[in-house]
C-alpha cells in the first residue's frame, strides 16, 4: 500500500512538472508580436555566390551570380545602400593593417578580390586604399569582370564606418585569432560615446573577443565560447524561465534547423534573451556558411508571426517583402 501511494505521488509530481514545463515554454497564451522581424544585412549590399562545394578558403568572388546591383561588399556605399534598403543592422568584416588600423575587408589574402597580393596586414591603410576591391569578381569563370576598375579606393577603414554611421546598429566581425587585435579594437571603441557603443556588437574568434569582453563589459560580444556557454546553460535551465548569467550581454546566431528545439521558441525565448540584452539572429540551414534568408520561400519557413532578427545576404530582396 505504501509503495502504491508513493508511486502515485511521484506520478502526480511528474505530471505537474511536465505541465509546468509545457505551459512555461509553450506559445499558447502568448500575445502575438505586433512588430515585423528586424533585418541584419551581411556585408551590406553584397554580391552573392553559389554555396555548392564551398570551403573556408574558397574564393567567393570568382563564383558570384550575375550581378543584380552595382555594390561591392564591405564598402561605405554598400553599407549605406543596405540601410537605405531597409536593414536594421549591417555586418562588416575587419582586418588589422600594417600601421595598426583596421581595414574593412573579409579575406585573409588580398588576391581573391583585389589586384593586390599578400595579407592586409602587409600594407598600411593608405596603401590598401590604392587597391581595386572589385578587381576579382566574375560571374562567368573569368570571361568578364563586371566590377574591375570600379573599386579603386573603396576599401574603408573602421574609423570611416564608425564616423559615417554613428546612429546605426553595426555588427563587427573581427577576422583574427590574435588577442592583440582585440586590444587594438578596444582602443578604437573606447573613443566612442557610450550611446554609440550600445549600438555595436563584435563577434569573432575566442581570443580577441575574450579581451573585448574583459576590457569593455558593456559591449555586446559573441564567440564560439560565449555561444556554447550561454546555450548549454540555457538548455539545462531555460525550461524554468531562469536566464543564466552566461547569456547576458551577448549574441547568439541560431540556425533555423535547431531553433524549434529551444525552450520557449520563438516568442518566449526571444523575450527572455532581450531582457538580458542579448540579440538572437536566426540564420538559414544549419548555420555552416553564413547562409541567409534570401528569397521569399526562405521567409515562409519562419514562424508566423515572427519578431526576431533575420540574417540575410540579399537585403535588396528581403526588405521589400518584410514591409508587406
Looking at residues 171-189, what average pLDDT do you find?
Answer: 97
pTM of the model: 0.94
Compute the C-alpha angle 156/208/188, nearest 5°.
Answer: 45
pLDDT at 53 over 90: no
Does residue 249 come out as left (phi exceeding 0), alpha (psi in the -120 to 50 range) or beta?
Answer: left
Q: Is 31 helix (H, G, I), strand (E, B) or coil?
A: coil
Looking at residues 270-296, what average pLDDT do you find?
Answer: 91
> Which residue, among 107, 97, 108, has the nearest Cα to 74 in the 3D structure?
107
Using the 8-state DSSP alphabet, how is residue 261 labeled?
G
pLDDT at 33 over 90: no
Interatomic CA distance for residues 40 and 48, integer angstroms: 15
CB-based contact 116:125 (threshold 8 Å): no
The pLDDT value recorded for residue 51 is: 84
Kindly report the number of other CB atoms within 10 A of residue 49's CB atom: 18
Q: Which of 22-31, 123-132, 199-208, 223-232 has the lowest mean pLDDT?
A: 22-31
CB-based contact 190:134 (threshold 8 Å): no
The pLDDT value recorded for residue 26 is: 77
Q: What is the pLDDT of residues 127-156, one digit of tens each?
A: 999 999 999 999 999 999 999 999 999 999
pLDDT at 9 over 70: yes
Interatomic CA distance for residues 164 and 268, integer angstroms: 36
Residues 6 or more apart in contact with residue 53 via CB below 8 angstroms:
none
Cell, residue 7: 508511486
Could you please state the CATH topology (level 3) that the domain comprising 41-220 is classified under.
TIM Barrel (3.20.20)
| Domain residue ranges in the chain | 41-220, 223-324
CB-based contact 41:90 (threshold 8 Å): yes
The pLDDT value recorded for residue 1 is: 64
pLDDT at 2 over 70: no
Looking at residues 166-175, what average pLDDT do you find?
Answer: 98
Continuous H helices in 129-275: 158-164, 179-189, 194-197, 206-215, 224-237, 267-275
Kindly report the number of other CB atoms within 10 A of residue 143's CB atom: 7
- Write out the E strands in the chain: 38-42, 89-96, 102-104, 169-174, 200-204, 220-222, 251-255, 279-283, 309-312
> Which residue, among 82, 74, 80, has the nearest Cα to 175 in the 3D structure?
74
Amino acid at each position: 500500500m505504501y509503495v502504491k501511494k508513493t508511486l502515485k505521488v511521484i506520478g502526480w509530481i511528474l505530471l505537474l512538472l511536465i505541465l509546468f514545463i509545457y505551459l512555461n515554454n509553450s506559445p499558447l497564451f502568448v500575445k502575438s508580436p505586433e512588430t515585423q522581424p528586424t533585418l541584419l544585412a551581411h556585408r551590406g549590399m553584397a554580391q552573392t555566390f553559389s554555396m555548392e562545394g564551398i570551403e573556408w578558403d574558397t574564393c567567393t568572388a570568382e563564383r558570384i551570380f550575375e550581378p543584380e546591383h552595382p555594390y561591392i561588399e564591405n564598402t561605405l556605399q554598400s553599407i549605406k545602400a543596405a540601410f537605405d534598403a531597409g536593414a536594421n543592422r549591417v555586418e562588416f568584416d575587419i582586418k588589422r593593417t600594417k600601421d595598426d588600423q583596421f581595414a574593412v575587408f573579409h579575406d585573409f589574402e588580398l588576391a581573391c578580390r583585389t589586384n593586390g597580393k599578400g595579407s592586409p596586414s602587409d600594407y598600411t591603410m593608405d596603401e590598401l586604399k590604392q587597391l581595386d576591391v572589385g578587381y576579382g569578381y566574375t560571374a562567368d569563370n573569368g570571361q568578364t569582370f563586371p566590377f574591375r576598375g570600379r573599386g579603386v579606393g573603396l576599401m574603408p577603414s573602421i574609423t570611416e564606418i564608425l564616423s559615417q554611421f554613428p546612429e546605426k546598429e553595426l555588427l563587427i566581425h573581427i577576422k583574427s585569432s590574435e588577442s592583440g587585435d582585440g586590444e587594438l579594437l578596444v582602443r578604437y571603441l573606447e573613443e566612442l560615446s557610450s550611446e554609440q557603443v550600445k549600438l555595436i556588437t563584435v563577434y569573432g574568434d575566442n581570443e580577441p573577443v575574450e579581451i573585448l569582453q574583459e576590457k569593455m563589459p558593456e559591449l555586446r560580444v559573441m564567440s564560439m565560447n560565449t555561444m556554447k556557454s550561454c546555450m548549454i546553460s540555457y538548455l539545462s535551465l531555460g525550461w524554468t524561465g531562469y536566464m543564466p548569467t552566461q547569456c547576458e550581454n551577448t549574441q547568439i546566431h541560431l540556425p533555423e534547423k535547431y531553433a524549434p528545439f529551444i525552450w520557449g521558441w520563438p516568442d518566449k525565448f526571444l523575450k527572455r534573451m532581450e531582457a538580458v540584452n542579448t540579440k538572437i539572429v536566426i540564420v538559414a540551414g544549419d548555420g555552416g556558411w553564413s547562409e541567409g534568408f534570401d528569397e521569399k520561400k526562405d521567409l515562409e519557413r519562419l514562424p508566423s508571426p515572427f519578431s526576431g532578427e533575420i540574417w540575410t545576404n540579399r537585403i535588396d530582396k528581403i526588405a521589400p517583402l518584410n514591409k508587406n
